[in-house]
A and B are shown apart, each in its own frame.
Chain A
């Protein structure tokens, strides 16, 4: 039963991940005054890349990078419950808590660093250096907000966090903590103004520069699933989780559209600017939010 549940969760995350990625391309095209590609375009891209030949090899560690990243994304999807009650779409969330999920969230960037480090491409290394520097600044406000949520619920278990939000969701109870987490979340999603990692005009594709064919497709697929996992985490922590599948789609969609629109209108921060900004505004919001608990 758990196995079927896990399979269903992965399937949903894969489907919604690509749908949202397609929607992101479409919505940002509308913001630019274009029509944009079809909603399934990212899925077409991924299928095409899976059947494309691999042109390079840099040893086994190069291939291990995307696999470690995909492992992190899959585990995150399985450990975060989709629905806030009952037994369906819970996956392995009863055997894990928020701390495990937060730990697994940094597995991806570390796997990426290992893979990129072995190919020796200067643009890849520059991208990953930017990514890890930014990650330190991203984690601080996000963890402050998560600590606030955990103090409020008195536990790191998802069930306790849902229980604490049964009357009023954390977004309304602790708006400052939500704002701190949301600004970090923009960075985790790779949206502007924190999209310095893969900035195409500066470091080509950043960490993905040397990846082609199947492993690039794996990178795209895991990034789509991981984005959905991050949306789920935000919904569970601040929007009270989802009552059913329709609620899940609605809440993740609202959060996703907000992130996309903010990302479409801001210019890119440089690495040092994003670190400074994240260390000041959202961190301060997080500290004040914690003090007001």
Chain B
């Protein structure tokens, strides 16, 4: 068996080819359009918010990739959770995510969305965002530079183009009980009303 960097790359490409071969031309075209038009709801929860303005404006100009910011969750495809989340903020993040229409994706920006990062010992921030909402793409670093965020978008574009059933919004719908239990454990009596009936209407 071949070894080394090229072999690894080829194994990834053959995996991509095998997923694509199961899709019709129309499905592939729709996935392509989705990957090239990403409306972003940038939720500035933590310090990561400061990295987003340069990403969207003249210095890094992410609109080149078809990424554009929108002001309302109804029109958004991607939710960026930029940094640490206190339970109070997380409640609003979850409400915003549940108002977005499918297909939708989450980018976790910064180490604190992965494992709490430098806020590991904090009494008032969550450690792992993926326990409460399905994260599709992590961009690690403290703070990640705009280049890293752009790299995250490019990787997410590849993921969207594959139209995989591993997408976060499908995971959230299929494993809602798991996410809901975690949310209830964190928020206790102050948990927001369940949105499960919305999923039933969509299927």
- Give A contacts to B, CB under 8 Å: 25, 29, 32-38, 41, 44-45, 47-49, 51-56, 200, 204-205, 208-213, 216
Shortest beta-carbon distance from A244 to chain B in Å:
34
Residues on the A chain within 8 Å of B63, using CB? 25, 29, 34, 36-37
* Residues of chain B from 35 to 69 with CB closer than 8 A to chain A in the complex: 36-37, 39, 57-58, 61, 63-64, 66, 68
Residues on the A chain within 8 Å of B89, using CB? none
Contact across chains for B61 and A36 when beta carbons are under 8 A apart = yes
Contact across chains for A55 and B66 when beta carbons are under 8 A apart = no
Tell whether B72 is near chain A: CB-to-CB under 8 Å: yes
Task: Identify whether the interface residues of A are mostly helix, strand, loop, or mixed.
Answer: loop
Contact across chains for A212 and B75 when beta carbons are under 8 A apart = yes
* Known contacts A32-B58, A33-B58, A36-B63: A51-B33 contact under CB 8 Å: yes
Contact across chains for B37 and A44 when beta carbons are under 8 A apart = yes
Contact across chains for A211 and B58 when beta carbons are under 8 A apart = no
**Could you list 11 examples of A-B contacts with CB < 8 Å?**
A32-B58, A35-B64, A41-B66, A47-B30, A48-B33, A51-B34, A53-B101, A53-B202, A55-B99, A55-B198, A209-B71
Shortest beta-carbon distance from B155 to chain A in Å:
19
* Known contacts A35-B64, A205-B70, A211-B74: A52-B58 contact under CB 8 Å: no
Query: Number of residue pairs across A and B with beta carbons under 8 Å?
Result: 83
* Residues of chain B from 163 to 181 with CB closer than 8 A to chain A in the complex: none
Tell whether B102 is near chain A: CB-to-CB under 8 Å: yes
User: How distant is the Cα of A209 from the Cα of B101 in the complex, in angstroms?
Assistant: 13
Q: How large is the interface on B (under 10, 10 to 19, 20 to 34, 35 or more residues)?
A: 20 to 34
Contact across chains for B74 and A37 when beta carbons are under 8 A apart = no
With A34-B63, A55-B101, A211-B74 known, 17 other A-B pairs at CB within 8 A are: A33-B58, A35-B64, A37-B66, A37-B68, A41-B36, A41-B37, A44-B36, A45-B39, A45-B68, A47-B37, A52-B77, A52-B101, A53-B103, A200-B71, A204-B72, A205-B71, A208-B75
- Give B contacts to A, CB under 8 Å: 30, 33-34, 36-37, 39, 57-58, 61, 63-64, 66, 68, 70-72, 74-75, 77, 99-103, 198, 202
Contact across chains for B72 and A205 when beta carbons are under 8 A apart = yes
Contact across chains for A37 and B72 when beta carbons are under 8 A apart = no
* Known contacts A44-B33, A44-B66, A55-B101: A211-B61 contact under CB 8 Å: no
Question: In chain A, what residue has the closest Cβ to B64?
Answer: A35
User: How distant is the Cα of A56 from the Cα of B61 in the complex, in angstroms?
Assistant: 32
Residues on the B chain within 8 Å of A44, using CB? 33, 36-37, 66
Contact across chains for B101 and A213 when beta carbons are under 8 A apart = yes
User: How distant is the Cα of A54 from the Cα of B101 in the complex, in angstroms?
Assistant: 6
Report which of B58, B70, B74 forms a contact with A56, defined as CB distance below 8 A: B74
Residues on the B chain within 8 Å of A25, using CB? 63
User: How distant is the Cα of A47 from the Cα of B100 in the complex, in angstroms?
Assistant: 18
Contact across chains for B103 and A52 when beta carbons are under 8 A apart = yes
User: How distant is the Cα of A211 from the Cα of B74 in the complex, in angstroms?
Assistant: 7
